[in-house]
Chains A and B, each alone.
Chain A
Amino acid sequence: MLKTRLAGALALTTLAMPLAFTAPAASAAPVEISFARFFGACEGDYGTSTDVPAARGECGIITTLINKFNADNKGEIVVKPQIMEWNTYYDQLTARIVGHDVPTVAVMHMAQLGDYVNRKVVLPLNDLFKEAGIDAGDFTDAATNGVTVNGKIYALPWDTHSWLWHYNVGLMKKAGLTDADGNPVVPKSLDELKAQAKKFKEATGKPLIAISTTQDVAGPARNFYTLLYQQGGTVFPDGPDGDANFSSPEAKKALQVWADLYKDGDLTPALDYEGATAGFINGNAGVYICGTWLIDSYMEAAAKKDTGLSDGYYVTAFPTLLGKPAIWADGHSWVLLKGGLNDDNKAATLKFLKYLYDNNLQWARTGHLSIRKSVIDSAAFQDLPFRKNIKIISEVARTLPAGTPRQFGIQQIVGEEFDNVMLTGKSVDDALADMQGRVNELVSAAR
């Protein structure tokens, strides 16, 4: 009985094999492009939607952009998103590269690019851009610097993102902190901010500023960097190959300002990123310090009834509190990894990159700054809400020195020590000393 079944199964397999080999050739399967990204998953809202202009937020816009590309190229190209959690994205991407399971196109922060390029796993794109019809001359200076390593371009820039103050206009008005136009009064100095915080607390019983200090290292590090840069300070005074220095008076002041605000009850206590982001919609503070990517989502929340933002939303670039204007910035970009591109998918991949380049304005609707000069100068971009308030970023954006290795590892250490000062009462001096020791230990081991 068993023998008969086995023989039958074998016969079926033998019959099916030629079919299996001939089937794809007969129907010319579309070229598949695997597309590794974060930005969240939102199939529930945008599963099959191709209406890009109607999409909101990072996830909605990138999802509909891909849906549209797939619909326009039906039968020829199919882009398959591989969505990962951003916290562990680079760990997973690295593991995939080492395991030779390489996506065709992958998102990468400009701050991370140098480490991957130095290990020769990212393809240079200068020639491929020419082939695809992408004009690198149209990239903004910030974008060009962000994707250029040793004179070659290694990524298609996608945005410049930076650090903003998102305002709850209703609460600011209640505290008497709005101007004649009904917009929040943006502080021009630290003293003015402290006076505002006092007034805000008396009127609303809430802290003026929401920041995340728990389970989040990126936001805290950006807060620290911004105040450091505003004083003209730097972490690597001797350039990317030198030692890190966190013992400067500027570094001390940058951390001390946040510690004092926290101690005085002017910062929300103990919120993680999700708690702070959602809490702001519920009206937990007058200002939420976070990134460009939230503008569109908060405008959507403000347009709804019965949210904490229903009485108005406003946003501006991180104000200059110490010295001169300077704000932390980074950028998203798309890279082609070695092993992901081959003769079969090259044309389709270049077509896809060109499509992303052409649709950069759509992505800029999230709140990020466009990476194309022509888009930034266009009426369509300038008509987007609040863009006048954040346009300054392209002039005052600051990053760690180009070529600094392990920038996300450094961010992890700076953010952790920042949180320690807020949450555990660790002294500013101890935290800075630990930042210095830990960062130098990390970069000394980097090649």
Chain B
Amino acid sequence: MAFADLSRSRPVRAAGIARPSWSNLLFVLPFLLLYAGLLVYPLFQGMWMSLHDYDLLSGESEFLGLANFIKLFRNSIFLGTVRNTLWFVAMTTPAFVVLGLALALALNRASRTGAVLRFIFFGSSVLSVTIVTLVWRMVLRPDKGLIANVLEWFGLPPVPFLIDVHLALPSIAGVTVWWIVGLPMMLFLAALQQIPQEIYEAAKLDNAGWWRTLFSITLPSIKRTVILVAVIEIVLQFQLFGQAQIMTQGGPNNSSRPIVLFIYESGFRDWRLGYAAAAAQILFFLMLVAASLQLWLGRRRQGGEA
């Protein structure tokens, strides 16, 4: 009897595994709804909008096909913003990885000084973009700015950081790195603390030097975090907006206008929502390519070494 019961219960259990229970969907439904409503729908709506001449204020729209994209590729101001944005990402992302790692290595210690310095370096990240950029404008301005005053003290002429076509974007990049280098530093610190101390002790017993330890133990152990930081920063820095808007308004001569500022101006100042959406699609595509490339490179390197 007991045997018969057991044999009867088996097919039931097997069927339970094979047949998905749709009631489980209820558990992920809230997330899926939010995800679909706040991310998937706007994403596709943006794509649809980019094919229209869509007036922000009147809400009227007219189907244009790819005309917005053709116009964008003929617009020298927009092409300038693409160049500026790529150049900005190229300047800041390596700086975040290298500086973040260097700070993490230097401050990865249990001492009180280490804790204080970690707090200081991370402290700037909690400030809002407005505060950071206003402070730095005061530092960088050629009339009565902090740096100009110091230079004047040495009898040197002021440097027009934010009004020189060659210096404006690098200055914004410098301020950005100063502002949020704390996050990569924290990520690297977390990764460094995951490395078992025994490996370092073994290396010490083998008389391995600091550089040797860094390249043979530390870096290979935190490779995933390096990729993570690079991808996060690529995605973040492609979206440069506030610093450029407040510090230079994209000038001089379009030398520091990023794509997002162009999107903002087209959409909100000029009310050309379709045109702005088309520029946003191009930004999305660029970010997708850059982040995928970085991930692919990271995986390939890992695969090669495995």
Write out, one digit per residue, whether chain A residues 79-113 have a CB within 8 A of any chain B CB (1) or not (0): 00000000000110011011000000000000000
Binding site for A on B (CB under 8 A): 53, 55-60, 71, 75-77, 141-144, 160, 162-165, 248-253, 264-265, 268-272, 275
Bound complex: CA A442 to CA B268 (Å): 13
Q: For A118, give the chain B residue with the smallest CB separation.
A: B58
Q: For B245, give the chain A residue with the smallest CB separation.
A: A88
Picked from A116, A279, A445, the residue with its CB within 8 Å of the CB of B270 is A445
Q: For B274, give the chain A residue with the smallest CB separation.
A: A445
Q: How large is the interface on A (under 10, 10 to 19, 20 to 34, 35 or more residues)?
A: 35 or more
Picked from A275, A409, A447, the residue with its CB within 8 Å of the CB of B269 is A409
Whether the pair B57, A94 counts as a contact (CB closer than 8 A) is yes
Picked from B56, B76, B77, B251, the residue with its CB within 8 Å of the CB of A420 is B251
Bound complex: CA A322 to CA B171 (Å): 40
Write out, one digit per residue, whether chain A residues 56-90 have a CB within 8 A of any chain B CB (1) or not (0): 00000000000000000000000000000000001
- Shortest distance from the beta carbon of B251 to any chain A beta carbon, whole Å: 6
Write out, one digit per residue, whether chain A residues 386-420 have a CB within 8 A of any chain B CB (1) or not (0): 00000000000000000000101100100010011
Most chain A C-beta atoms within 10 Å of own C-beta, residue among B60, B163, B250: B163
* Chain B contact surface mostly: loop
- Given A215-B249, A275-B141, A420-B251, also A97-B57 (CB < 8 A): yes
Whether the pair A214, B163 counts as a contact (CB closer than 8 A) is yes
- Given A119-B58, A270-B142, A409-B270, also A445-B165 (CB < 8 A): no
Whether the pair A94, B58 counts as a contact (CB closer than 8 A) is no
The residues of A that contact B163 with a CB separation of less than 8 Å are 214, 270, 423
The residues of A that contact B271 with a CB separation of less than 8 Å are 94, 115
The residues of B that contact A420 with a CB separation of less than 8 Å are 251-253
- Shortest distance from the beta carbon of A267 to any chain B beta carbon, whole Å: 13
- Given A275-B141, A409-B269, A412-B269, also A98-B56 (CB < 8 A): yes
Whether the pair A445, B143 counts as a contact (CB closer than 8 A) is no
Picked from A121, A214, A408, A438, the residue with its CB within 8 Å of the CB of B77 is A438
Bound complex: CA A272 to CA B59 (Å): 36
- Shortest distance from the beta carbon of A271 to any chain B beta carbon, whole Å: 6
Whether the pair A271, B143 counts as a contact (CB closer than 8 A) is yes
Bound complex: CA A115 to CA B270 (Å): 10
- Shortest distance from the beta carbon of A6 to any chain B beta carbon, whole Å: 22
Q: For B144, give the chain A residue with the smallest CB separation.
A: A275
- Given A98-B56, A119-B57, A419-B252, also A441-B75 (CB < 8 A): yes
Bound complex: CA A426 to CA B76 (Å): 16
Bound complex: CA A236 to CA B217 (Å): 69
Bound complex: CA A217 to CA B248 (Å): 12
The residues of B that contact A94 with a CB separation of less than 8 Å are 56-57, 268, 271
Most chain A C-beta atoms within 10 Å of own C-beta, residue among B76, B253, B275: B253
Picked from A406, A426, A437, A442, the residue with its CB within 8 Å of the CB of B253 is A426
Whether the pair B275, A116 counts as a contact (CB closer than 8 A) is no
Whether the pair A275, B57 counts as a contact (CB closer than 8 A) is no
Bound complex: CA A34 to CA B53 (Å): 33
Whether the pair B143, A121 counts as a contact (CB closer than 8 A) is no
Whether the pair B55, A119 counts as a contact (CB closer than 8 A) is yes
12 contacts between A and B (CB under 8 A): A90-B269, A94-B268, A95-B268, A119-B55, A120-B58, A214-B162, A214-B251, A275-B144, A406-B270, A408-B269, A412-B269, A416-B250
Whether the pair A445, B275 counts as a contact (CB closer than 8 A) is yes
The residues of A that contact B275 with a CB separation of less than 8 Å are 445
Query: Is residue A424 contacting chain B, with contact meaning CB distance below 8 A?
Result: yes
- Shortest distance from the beta carbon of A56 to any chain B beta carbon, whole Å: 26
The residues of A that contact B265 with a CB separation of less than 8 Å are 412
- Shortest distance from the beta carbon of A263 to any chain B beta carbon, whole Å: 16
Write out, one digit per residue, whether chain A residues 130-159 have a CB within 8 A of any chain B CB (1) or not (0): 000000000000000000000000000000
The residues of B that contact A217 with a CB separation of less than 8 Å are 249
Whether the pair B272, A445 counts as a contact (CB closer than 8 A) is yes
Q: For B247, give the chain A residue with the smallest CB separation.
A: A215
- Shortest distance from the beta carbon of A116 to any chain B beta carbon, whole Å: 7
Bound complex: CA A424 to CA B256 (Å): 13
Picked from A98, A409, A416, A437, the residue with its CB within 8 Å of the CB of B57 is A98
The residues of A that contact B164 with a CB separation of less than 8 Å are 423-424
Write out, one digit per residue, whether chain A residues 234-278 have a CB within 8 A of any chain B CB (1) or not (0): 000000000000000000000000000000000001111001000
Picked from B59, B76, B248, the residue with its CB within 8 Å of the CB of A215 is B248
Whether the pair A423, B141 counts as a contact (CB closer than 8 A) is no
- Given A94-B268, A275-B143, A409-B269, also A419-B57 (CB < 8 A): no
- Shortest distance from the beta carbon of A247 to any chain B beta carbon, whole Å: 18
- Shortest distance from the beta carbon of B161 to any chain A beta carbon, whole Å: 11
The residues of A that contact B77 with a CB separation of less than 8 Å are 438
Whether the pair A279, B143 counts as a contact (CB closer than 8 A) is yes
Write out, one digit per residue, whether chain A residues 340-367 have a CB within 8 A of any chain B CB (1) or not (0): 0000000000000000000000000000
Whether the pair B160, A424 counts as a contact (CB closer than 8 A) is no
Most chain B C-beta atoms within 10 Å of own C-beta, residue among A279, A438, A445: A445
The residues of B that contact A424 with a CB separation of less than 8 Å are 164-165, 252-253
The residues of A that contact B55 with a CB separation of less than 8 Å are 119, 447
The residues of B that contact A445 with a CB separation of less than 8 Å are 53, 270, 272, 275
Bound complex: CA A90 to CA B267 (Å): 12
- Shortest distance from the beta carbon of B162 to any chain A beta carbon, whole Å: 8
The residues of B that contact A426 with a CB separation of less than 8 Å are 253
- Shortest distance from the beta carbon of A285 to any chain B beta carbon, whole Å: 12
The residues of A that contact B160 with a CB separation of less than 8 Å are 270, 423
- What are the 7 A-B residue pairs with the smallest beta carbon separation, nearest first? A119-B58, A91-B268, A119-B57, A420-B253, A423-B252, A424-B253, A423-B163
Bound complex: CA A91 to CA B76 (Å): 24
The residues of B that contact A269 with a CB separation of less than 8 Å are 142
Most chain A C-beta atoms within 10 Å of own C-beta, residue among B141, B162, B271: B271
Bound complex: CA A91 to CA B265 (Å): 9
The residues of A that contact B75 with a CB separation of less than 8 Å are 441
The residues of A that contact B269 with a CB separation of less than 8 Å are 90-91, 408-409, 412
